[in-house]
Structure 1
Amino acid sequence: MSFIGTQQKCKACEKTVYPVELLSADGVPYHKSCFKCSHCKGTLKLGTYSSMEGVLYCKPRFEQLFKERGNLNKNFQSHKIA
């Protein structure tokens, strides 16, 4: 019996993502350890992250960078699971 590999590549590190370490956000595969805020490098969770133009942010950094400066006219996505 042979193992059939996956073709999915992590968006952050571009290495193969195996099912046991897969985290999919907006249909984009990540390693759980690579799912981090692009600004502060803090680990993110699916229920509490924001993204703008494919870039991941934690909620505090997103608000700091975009809401306070009034840059919300860009196409952004905010994710929260209730």
Structure 2
Amino acid sequence: SDNTPDQAPRSSAFQPACREMCSACSKKVYPMEKITADKYIFHQTCFCCKQCKKKLSMYNYAPLYGEFYCIFHYQQLFRRKGNYDEGFGRAQHKNRWLLRNAAGVVSHESKSEA
């Protein structure tokens, strides 16, 4: 009887302030502690280098495949193998191109023989 048509009931007026989850720890991230980097959301304390665990900021990080590194380790891992894929423990990206090109050559050869 208190509620006029213009007022919402009190129970629905409260909305939780946090709906986002940290990409590192999977816990709720509140706006005051939120950092967004490369479309990922973190707590300020969870945003750290994968290699050395040093806390990162928006000015000193480098992303690669959804993982984040301090500038020092990003450069060090690149120098180790001379490319980003092998330096970071992945198969070389050029291998995918070679396989794709080889498959394309086979399909073109089979079409020309027909």
TM-score by length of 1: 0.80
Cα displacement (A) at 1:27: 1.9
Cα displacement (A) at 1:3: 4.4
Greater strand share, 1 or 2? 1
Partner Cα distance (2:14, 2:20) in 1: 18
| 2:69 matches 1:57 | yes
Partner Cα distance (1:48, 1:4) in 2: 32
Conserved 8 A contact 2:20-2:29: yes
Partner Cα distance (1:65, 1:3) in 2: 45
Alignment of 1:1-82 (within 5 A): 2-72=14-84
Greater helix share, 1 or 2? 2
Partner Cα distance (1:14, 1:7) in 2: 12
What is the number of residues matched between the two proteins? 75
The structure, 1 or 2, with the larger RCO (C-alpha pairs under 8 Å, 6+ apart) is 1
Partner Cα distance (2:51, 2:19) in 1: 28
Structure 1 portions without partners, runs of 5+ = 76-82
RMSD: 1.8
Partner Cα distance (2:71, 2:51) in 1: 11
Moved over 4 A (4+): none
Cα displacement (A) at 1:61: 0.4
Cα displacement (A) at 1:5: 3.2
CA deviation profile, 1:23-46 (whole Å, cap 9, x unmatched): 110121100000000000000011
TM-score by length of 2: 0.59
